[in-house]
Homo-oligomer: A and B are copies of this chain.
Amino acid sequence: MSDYRAPVKDMRFVINELAGLARINVLPGFEEATPDLVDAVLEEASQLAAEVIGPTNAIGDSQGCEVKDGQVYVPEEFKAAYRQYMEGGWPGIAMDPEYGGQGLPALVGTAVEEMLQSANLAWSLGPLLTEGAIHAIELHGTTELKDRFLEPMISGQWTGTMNLTEPQAGSNLAAIRTQAIPKGDSYRITGQKIFITWGDHNMTDNVIHLVLARTPDAPAGVKGLSLFVVPKMQINTDGGAGERNGVTTVSVEHKLGIHGSPTCVLDFDNAEGSLVGEIGAGLTNMFTMMNRARLSVGLEGVAITERAYQQALAYALERVQGGAPGHDGDVAIIQHPDVRRMLLTMKATNEAMRALAYLNAAHIDLAEHATDESERALHQARVDLLTPVVKGWLTENSQALTSLGLQVHGGSGYIEETGAAQHYRDARILTIYEGTTGIQAADLVGRKILRDGGATFSALLDEMAELDAALAAAGEELATVHDAHVAGVAGLRESVKWLLENAGSDANAPGSVSYHLLMQTGTVVGGWHMARAGLIAKQKLDEGAADADFYRSKLLTARFYAEQVMPVAYSHARSVRAGADTIMAFSLDQFASE
């Protein structure tokens, strides 16, 4: 057993009440996803997370991975946990039933994924990347490729990877140099890829690489990139793993955190691969998996914060130190107002983060399964708009919040054996991989706001503003929530207006304000969901619903969020209005500090 317990109550609340499972399980293909079934899935997954995956977390951190003769070895405990995960059918929980998946909504799959990530962030990256690779093959592969790869990947028999980065090509994928030379029906891939998460391991007998590479005579830049599937081991005629393909692991990185996740330098030397999708459509096709992966990384922010919160809370309830107002003698430190502030900042922000991540998953389900095409398009537009916010805001928060978790422990938090520092170290990668926060912010202002003149964002703001009346009517208990929501939405509308008005005349304006606009958006949209949660909680309490403690806590948490978290939206708004002038005025010499 580990010390992690899945927050099933809050997950259920978000799935049923905030995301509205009822509007999803009426859709074709999702009829079985009833609240009762979802409850059962959550309970079973929470056991897996607590009892099987969770106990491997500290082991992976202290042991790490090693590479011998081009083969990566992970801790033995990881292999055992993976076997149980696979035997339980968890890899296919939200995958296509045609290839052996269980076909549950992404909304439900998201809750399961959060549990696995909380249990062991490093370990859960294997499944995360595999899911992305599956989506890429599903969406862009030929029937033959689907038949070859999907079943063994959905069953968990093989895992998958995403191969984008090269030493000279990080955020700028146009600089990719890896070559793909046609030979018969297939291609020969040659080049070096770095930062490949779970690029190799010994948990399964094959690893399926999705690789961006350049065909001969391809145009320069991103339009010359194509996507290939390159298995570590050749596929036998019986469909199983055969001879070694030309892919070897050169080294694994020595990282700040997620030590249990092998981050590989991969050498492709004349490796046989197959084209996925059209020639030249590599980046577009890779993005279909990357967008899903970005949402999963955003979810990792929730997961690591949840685990850090549980540990900090347990410590604060147990550690006795000093006196506090209204108490005789020494008290558990949770009685100190400033410790409460830290814990509640973690709790409130993370519940808003969870709501945002799950809501986005619900929009994915509706975008893919709604019967009406225009409805599907509306949900897809919302997913597209919020993907960079889910990735950027949730992961940036997770660093500040795991830091608070460490801080609650005082001096013990700095000692590695306590475990709080591991969460802090693990969380630090989240704002970097699958596109840095800067890349997310650029995506938000460029592709998601400016490209349609703010239309999609404006629709979101209008929908958010519809909550005003209900909040006003809710009276004193939600008064600060009402105030914060109204001001938050108005401020966000102003920031977007500023961007639209200034982007044309100043090419540096979008990039200068993008980070603060992303953070403001996340804060206010998260606040909207918390406001909705507060209203639902108040209604449940008024009706005398069971589990009053949960609803009372939810109402208070919505209030804390409005009073103590929403204020940062104002500061981001002011930074947005400052624009680009001062940022761009510095000459390179003027940056020097010496």
A residues with a Cβ closer than 8 A to B are: 5-10, 165, 170-172, 174-175, 194-195, 253-257, 306, 309-310, 313, 317, 321-322, 324-326, 330, 334, 336-344, 347, 399-400, 403, 406-407, 410-411, 413-417, 421, 424-425, 428-429, 431-433, 436-438, 441-442, 480, 507-508, 510-512, 514-515, 549, 552-553, 556, 559-560, 563-564, 567-575, 578, 580, 582-594
Contact = CB atoms under 8 A, between A and B. Distances in A.
Contacts of A400: 400
Contacts of A416: 254-256
A514 B325 CA distance: 15
Q: How many identical subunits does the complex contain?
A: 2
Contacts of A437: 407
A586 B553 contact: yes
B586 A170 contact: no
Given A325-B508, A428-B414, A480-B578, A590 B339 contact: no
A7 B415 CA distance: 32
Given A438-B336, A507-B325, A570-B570, A309 B556 contact: no
30 contacts: A170-B411, A172-B330, A175-B321, A255-B415, A310-B593, A313-B593, A325-B508, A326-B507, A326-B508, A336-B511, A338-B441, A339-B438, A340-B583, A340-B584, A340-B586, A344-B591, A406-B428, A407-B438, A410-B436, A549-B589, A553-B591, A553-B592, A556-B585, A563-B574, A563-B582, A564-B575, A564-B583, A567-B570, A569-B571, A570-B574
A504 to B, nearest CB: 12
Contact of A559 (B7, B432, B512, B582): B582
A594 B8 contact: yes
A21 to B, nearest CB: 21
Given A256-B416, A309-B593, A594-B310, A341 B549 contact: no
A582 B567 contact: no
A172 B411 CA distance: 13
Nearest to A195: B411
Contacts of A414: 253, 255-257, 428-429, 432
A591 B313 contact: yes
A587 B549 contact: yes
Nearest to A420: B256
A393 to B, nearest CB: 15
- Which of A165, A317, A508, A571: most chain B CB closer than 10 A? A571
Q: Lowest 3 A-B CB distances belong to which pairs?
A: A337-B511, A325-B507, A563-B578
Contacts of A553: 586, 589-592
A347 B593 contact: yes
B334 A588 contact: yes
A8 B563 CA distance: 43
B407 A508 contact: no
Given A338-B441, A403-B428, 10 more contacts: A5-B594, A7-B594, A175-B321, A338-B515, A339-B438, A480-B582, A552-B590, A556-B582, A564-B578, A568-B568
A194 B585 CA distance: 50
Contacts of A438: 336, 338-339, 342, 407
Given A575-B563, A593-B309, A165 B337 contact: no
Nearest to A407: B431
B575 A567 contact: yes
A315 to B, nearest CB: 12
A171 B324 CA distance: 13
Contacts of A340: 512, 583-584, 586
A400 B399 CA distance: 9
Nearest to A586: B556
A313 to B, nearest CB: 6
A387 to B, nearest CB: 18
B313 A590 contact: no
Contact of A574 (B317, B330, B567, B591): B567
A6 B592 CA distance: 11
Contacts of A174: 322
Contacts of A508: 325-326, 337
A108 to B, nearest CB: 19
Contact of A341 (B411, B433, B512, B572): B512
B407 A432 contact: yes
B403 A594 contact: no
A442 B594 contact: no
Contact of A334 (B330, B512, B552, B591): B591
A432 B415 contact: no
- Which of A425, A569, A594: most chain B CB closer than 10 A? A594
Nearest to A589: B549
A254 B582 contact: no
Given A338-B512, A589-B549, A256 B425 contact: yes
